Structure 1
Amino acid sequence: MNNRRPPAPLLDAALVGVSLANAWVNVDFEEQPAMACALLGACALALRRRLPLTTFVLTVPTALITDAVFATTAALYTLSSLSRHRVLLVGCALAYGVTDFLPWPWWALKTSQLSGTRNLVHLSYTLATAAAPVFLGQLVQARRELSLRLTEITEAREHERLLASQSVLAQERAQLAREMHDVVSHQVSLIAVQAGALQVGGRDAETRQAAATIRQLSVQTLDELRHMVSVLRASGIRPTELTPQPSLADLRRLVDGSGIEAKLETDLPEDLPPTVQRAVYRTVQEALTNVRKHAPGATATVRVRCVDGTVLATVTNTAPTRPSLPLPSAHHGLAGLGQRAELLGGTVTAGPTADGGYELRLEVPFVQNR
């Protein structure tokens, strides 16, 4: 439903035009005082929004001297739609009705003109004519106020609904934080302890190195997990910053700590947007994790470069040299990478290579800062 109204200046100009036409039809051009009052009343309608009472007063002579009462009616309607002073509105309506009923000039009024059934009907008609714009204006004012009140109620309900949803979300986050702290943190701590024991008591250097890598990754995971738990618990109570987000400067540490033999080749500008840097980091992180899980003994090559305004990141691994162990997986990693890349206008593709390995490729466009 279209509730658009014409612009206020256009509507005011239309009312002035209709009032002038009403004066042209009902006023004799040779009667200069009457024509002056009619023109004054018509032009006064341009002030009806800013000075409604003054506008009505300026239009009263039109109803007193002439039959061109459109300007007075419009002014009284405007005053009624903008004012809450009931006594003032009643007085203005009576003034309009009396001036429209009494003949002009007043000093030529005869007593016989105020009596009789015909005059009583005429008086009733003029009073009804004066009351009509008052009632209509008050109705419009009540409708406008009701619309505003309904808008306020709707906004208040939306706010209450938002608060309720935030409360439910905060409870769910608190429950999730408890589960993560009580279950996941405990299990990762056991992994770190067992890896530390294996690192100390291992019989060969390769085993101790693998145990050290497992312990390092477990400790890092615990730190990130604890911070995530604190973020979940504080959500909705106070603003909480996430841990510093990874960037391309962290790629070397990520590759070196991946626990596999990997080579890193980078050729990128230094002013890449942070979102692009995080996308590259998370892609490399996911790819190296998949190599470690599904391709034991394989080596990996990480290449990150920029070509024609597009960041290309590829992680390619060779064929595994040992059979992989079945590990639990929800297969959400690649899907999450694809969604992240799609938000940046890029793509993620993955598939096997000709030599039995696997390749993960990220392409993300970017605008270089100048």
Structure 2
Amino acid sequence: MNLRRLRAPLLDAALVAASLLDVWVKVHIDEPLRLSCALVAAFSLFLRRRRPLLTFLLTLPAVLVSDAVFAALAALYTLASFTRHRTMLAVCVTVFTICDMTNWPSLSYDFAKTATVITLGYTAATAAAPVFLGQLVQARRDLSRQLAEISEARDHKRLLTAQSVLAKERAQLAREMHDVVSHQVSLIAVRAGALQVGAQDADVKEAAATIRRLSVQTLDELRHMVSVLRASGGRPTELTPQPSLADLHRLVDNSGIETELRTDVPDDLPPTVQRAIYRTVQEALTNARKHAPGTTATVHIRHHDGAVRATVTNTAPTHPPLPLPSAHHGLVGLRQRAALLGGSVTAGPTADGGYELCLELPAEGRP
């Protein structure tokens, strides 16, 4: 139990103790009626948080028959701090004042005397003080709650503004991808289709068919990416199924270069490891196709001593490479992905003028 939960019962116990001290000082043990009323008033403070009005009513007999008024003032403060009915508070102050001025069993008042008027004012002020204090505490509590709500609303507004800016940026990116990239890829697909129909050479027809097929696949992926970007701020859009080792054969067949695939890894590797291997092979074959025309490649994936090692090696190019755009971020991304899984990526030229990319990961996907 933390300190905040202990604070309330400790405070109630302290008020009861103070009330009992007030009873001990002002009520004699030989006065059973007054003592009983005063004790009831003192112990009724344990109910002040759950039943504040009942607690105040239970303290009034002690005020009427004795001078032990501390419990009644504490109950009046509690009632004022919880209720918003000011008329009821005014009635309670009036009742307390009348009971405190009454010298039980005598009920007579002589307002012609100055002392009676002074006593009336003093008693009324004594009753009004805890009421004002309770109302002040209630106002402070309301103000704190309102400040918390304003702060929460401001944070929510800030979040909505950030989401709105992000949605606009994504929408602009989606338009650019749709209007520029998709259009250019569509032209590539159309021209490749025309080349496939009009060419006489079988190799040219096959190359044109491969270009057209890859262009169509790229268009499908671009359309999905555009839909994901445009759906920002709405319902979550499911991503396409992530690749696994089962997709490697199709990747190799569609790579556009002659590739030999050799693998002896189990099929139950973690999905993160399978995706890392797939993306590594994809990046290596893409780089070989771009930077080493006419090359052949070998993909070797093996499992040994709790580690998985994927090696992609390509031979030296037989044609000069074409100047193609590149952001030079592929290997950096592969190294970051491998590092997150506790592995590493090494790459470099081979002795015969080719290139080799090697990925090594723990089989469990953790360091």
Post-superposition offset of 1:137: 1.2
| Alpha-carbon spacing, 1:23–1:292, altered in 2? closer, same or farther (3 Å) | farther
Contact 2:269 2:364 in 1 (8 A): no
Q: Give 1:44's aligned residue.
A: 44
Contact 1:291 1:317 in 2 (8 A): no
Contact 2:63 2:99 in 1 (8 A): yes
Q: 2:266 aligns with which of 265, 268, 277?
A: 268
1:224-303 → structure 2 map (5 Å cutoff): 224-260=221-257, 261-270=259-268, 272-273=270-271, 275-296=272-293, 297-303=295-301
Q: Give the Cα separation in 1 of the matches to 2:23 and 2:336.
A: 70
Contact 2:338 2:344 in 1 (8 A): yes
Task: Give the residue type in structure 2 aligned to 1:65.
Answer: V
**Range moving further from structure 2, 19-28 or 185-194:** 19-28
Post-superposition offset of 1:271: 6.8
* CA-to-aligned-CA distance 1:216-247 (integer Å, 9 cap, x gap): 21111011112222232333344433333323
Contact 1:347 1:364 in 2 (8 A): yes
* CA-to-aligned-CA distance 1:135-174 (integer Å, 9 cap, x gap): 1111121222222223333333333333333333333222
Task: Give the residue type in structure 2 aligned to 1:317.
Answer: T
Q: Give the Cα separation in 2 of the matches to 1:5 and 1:164.
A: 38
**Range moving further from structure 2, 180-189 or 191-200:** 191-200
Q: Give 1:11's aligned residue.
A: 11
Task: Give the residue type in structure 2 aligned to 1:242.
Answer: L
Q: Give the Cα separation in 1 of the matches to 2:19 and 2:302.
A: 77
Contact 1:341 1:364 in 2 (8 A): no
Q: Give 1:106's aligned residue.
A: 105
Post-superposition offset of 1:131: 0.6
| Alpha-carbon spacing, 1:74–1:217, altered in 2? closer, same or farther (3 Å) | same
Q: Give the Cα separation in 2 of the matches to 1:156 and 1:257.
A: 53
Q: Give 1:186's aligned residue.
A: 183
Contact 2:343 2:360 in 1 (8 A): yes
State the secondary structure of the residue aligned to 1:361: strand
Q: Give 2:165's aligned residue.
A: 168
| Alpha-carbon spacing, 1:154–1:116, altered in 2? closer, same or farther (3 Å) | same
Contact 1:283 1:362 in 2 (8 A): no
Q: Give the Cα separation in 2 of the matches to 1:142 and 1:155.
A: 20
Contact 1:268 1:304 in 2 (8 A): no
| Alpha-carbon spacing, 1:106–1:317, altered in 2? closer, same or farther (3 Å) | same
Contact 2:298 2:312 in 1 (8 A): yes
Post-superposition offset of 1:202: 5.1
Q: Give 1:22's aligned residue.
A: 22
Contact 1:195 1:211 in 2 (8 A): yes
Q: Give 1:62's aligned residue.
A: 62
Post-superposition offset of 1:338: 4.4
Q: Give the Cα separation in 2 of the matches to 1:21 and 1:264.
A: 91
What is the aligned residue count?
Answer: 359
Identity of aligned residues (%): 58
Contact 2:334 2:345 in 1 (8 A): no
| Alpha-carbon spacing, 1:215–1:307, altered in 2? closer, same or farther (3 Å) | farther
Q: Give the Cα separation in 2 of the matches to 1:21 and 1:276.
A: 74
| Alpha-carbon spacing, 1:354–1:289, altered in 2? closer, same or farther (3 Å) | closer
| Alpha-carbon spacing, 1:277–1:91, altered in 2? closer, same or farther (3 Å) | farther
1:88-127 → structure 2 map (5 Å cutoff): 88-103=88-103, 105-107=104-106, 115-127=112-124
* CA-to-aligned-CA distance 1:151-200 (integer Å, 9 cap, x gap): 33333333333333333333322222221112111211222233334444
| Alpha-carbon spacing, 1:263–1:244, altered in 2? closer, same or farther (3 Å) | same
* CA-to-aligned-CA distance 1:282-305 (integer Å, 9 cap, x gap): 333223222322344141314164
Contact 1:255 1:264 in 2 (8 A): no
Q: Give the Cα separation in 2 of the matches to 1:18 and 1:287.
A: 82
Post-superposition offset of 1:47: 1.2
| Alpha-carbon spacing, 1:292–1:155, altered in 2? closer, same or farther (3 Å) | same
Q: Does residue 346 in structure 1 map to residue 345 in structure 2?
A: no
Contact 2:269 2:363 in 1 (8 A): no
- Runs of 5+ in structure 2 lacking a partner? none
State the secondary structure of the residue aligned to 2:268: coil
Post-superposition offset of 1:205: 4.7
| Alpha-carbon spacing, 1:271–1:12, altered in 2? closer, same or farther (3 Å) | farther
Q: Give the Cα separation in 2 of the matches to 1:22 and 1:279.
A: 78
TM-score, normalised to structure 2, is 0.84
RMSD: 3.1
Q: Does residue 335 in structure 1 map to residue 329 in structure 2?
A: no
**Range moving further from structure 2, 3-12 or 151-160:** 3-12
State the secondary structure of the residue aligned to 2:299: strand
| Alpha-carbon spacing, 1:159–1:124, altered in 2? closer, same or farther (3 Å) | same
Q: Give the Cα separation in 2 of the matches to 1:42 and 1:224.
A: 77
Q: Give 2:208's aligned residue.
A: 211
Q: Give the Cα separation in 1 of the matches to 2:284 and 2:60.
A: 85
Contact 1:185 1:222 in 2 (8 A): yes
